[in-house]
Amino acid sequence: MAGAPASRLSRAAVAASPWTDRMSVPSDIAAARAAVLDRIAQAATASGRAPESITLTAVSKLQPDDRVEAMLATGQRIFGENRVQEAEARWRERRARYSDLHLRLIGPLQSNKAADAVAFFDAIESLDRSKLVAVLAVEVQKQGRSPEFLIQVNTGEEAQKAGIAPREADAFIKAARETYGLPVRGLMCIPPVDEEPAMHFALLAKIAARNDLPILSMGMSDDFETAIRFGATHVRVGSALFGARP
Ligand SMILES: *Cc1c(COP(=O)(O)O)cnc(C)c1O
């Protein structure tokens, strides 16, 4: 998965955001967010869905502090991070200031960080192996705290990408629920950079539907409107909101 986010920052995404030439003007964050929310609303309406049924996760990984502060000033409270330690450094103190903050882990989770992740995050979107599910289940019991859990599906079956293979997803979901007693709520995917994302979103939606999973985290700066068309409930948008990651 390392490398995917940067390469997904296509020319199209940059051109569609107001960041093209001015990379670090925090006052433009509000305009960027308004534009993304507007595009979400239009995509939802075009599919006969309520705009409020789609959650915008602002992916703040690697973004400088002034941009994060500017985003908080717009009222945005749902943020995505892909590393536990980086998230703790950025958000631990801000948590005290913003009681309604909602933090989602969207990157791979090592088993030895599972306890920290359960303690810190409101959602963990990257369940990708049995050992991790087992460790998380123990932590949920121990801490009496349960984030929202999503299973990552490697829809493109890419060797370098995390996630459960599509043909193994049903059995994995069942085991997470029944063997480990973990309350899985949905699925997440990151389509291959060089493929049409629509078929990957359709596949994820199909697996979620047949397993009664209500949450679908799919769509990034480049393709969130397509994802909404295929049923995304959560879109994870970084560069179109904050500008390119330094
Ligand atoms: C970085 C990242 C994003 C955001 O990517 P952008 O193209 O900047 O919108 C979304 N999801 C995951 C899992 C990521 O790692």
Which tens digit of pLDDT belongs to each residue from 183-197? 999 999 999 999 999
Answer yes or no: are the C-beta atoms of 118 and 126 closer than 8 Å: no
CA of 120 to the centre of ligand 1 (A): 20
CA of 178 to the centre of ligand 1 (A): 31
> pLDDT per residue over 53-104, tens digit each?
999 999 999 999 999 999 999 999 999 999 999 999 999 999 999 999 999 9
108 lines ligand 1 (CB under 6 A): no
Atom number, ligand 1, closest to the C-alpha of residue 125: 13
Q: Would the pLDDT of 1 be above 60?
A: no
118 lines ligand 1 (CB under 6 A): no
114 lines ligand 1 (CB under 6 A): no
> pLDDT per residue over 115-142, tens digit each?
999 999 999 999 999 999 999 999 999 9
Section 166-173 average pLDDT: 98
Section 100-113 average pLDDT: 98
The residue to mutate among 106, 154, 234, having the most atoms of ligand 1 within 8 angstroms of its beta carbon, is: 106
List, as own/partner pairs, every contact residues 205-210 make where C-beta atoms lie below 8 angstroms and the sequence separation is at least 24, other chains included.
205/230, 205/231, 207/153, 207/166, 207/169, 207/170, 207/173, 210/170
CA of 19 to the centre of ligand 1 (A): 17
Answer yes or no: are the C-beta atoms of 67 and 19 closer than 8 Å: no
Section 107-115 average pLDDT: 98
Residue nearest to atom 5 of ligand 1 (CA): 238
Query: pTM of the predicted model, to two decimals?
Result: 0.90
Give pLDDT, residue 13.
47
CATH architecture of 11-241: Alpha-Beta Barrel (3.20)
Give pLDDT, residue 7.
41
CA of 57 to the centre of ligand 1 (A): 10
Q: How large a percentage of the chain has pLDDT more than 70?
A: 89
For the chain, what is the mean pLDDT? 92
> pLDDT per residue over 28-40, tens digit each?
999 999 999 999 9
Give pLDDT, residue 246.
87
> pLDDT per residue over 143-165, tens digit each?
999 999 999 999 999 999 999 99
Q: Would the pLDDT of 5 be above 50?
A: no
Section 223-227 average pLDDT: 98
Place of tokens 């958000």: 91
Q: Would the pLDDT of 12 be above 50?
A: no
Amino acid at 209: A
Could you tell me the pLDDT band of residue 225, with boundaries at 50, 70 and 90? very high
**Cα distance between residue 6 and residue 9, in whole Å:** 5
Token representation of residue 53 = 């049924």
Q: Would the pLDDT of 48 be above 60?
A: yes
Q: Where are the alpha helices (DSSP H) in the chain?
A: 4-8, 11-16, 28-46, 65-73, 84-97, 114-120, 130-143, 169-174, 198-210, 224-229, 239-242
Atom number, ligand 1, closest to the C-alpha of residue 8: 7
Atom number, ligand 1, closest to the C-alpha of residue 106: 13
Residues 6 or more apart in contact with residue 36 via CB below 8 angstroms? 56, 224, 237, 240, 241
Axis crossing angle, helix 84-97 with helix 65-73, rounded to the nearest 10 = 40
Residue nearest to atom 11 of ligand 1 (CA): 236
CA of 242 to the centre of ligand 1 (A): 11
CA of 224 to the centre of ligand 1 (A): 11
How is the chain split into domains, by residue range?
11-241
The residue to mutate among 9, 29, 82, having the most atoms of ligand 1 within 8 angstroms of its beta carbon, is: 82
**Cα distance between residue 212 and residue 145, in whole Å:** 23
231 lines ligand 1 (CB under 6 A): no
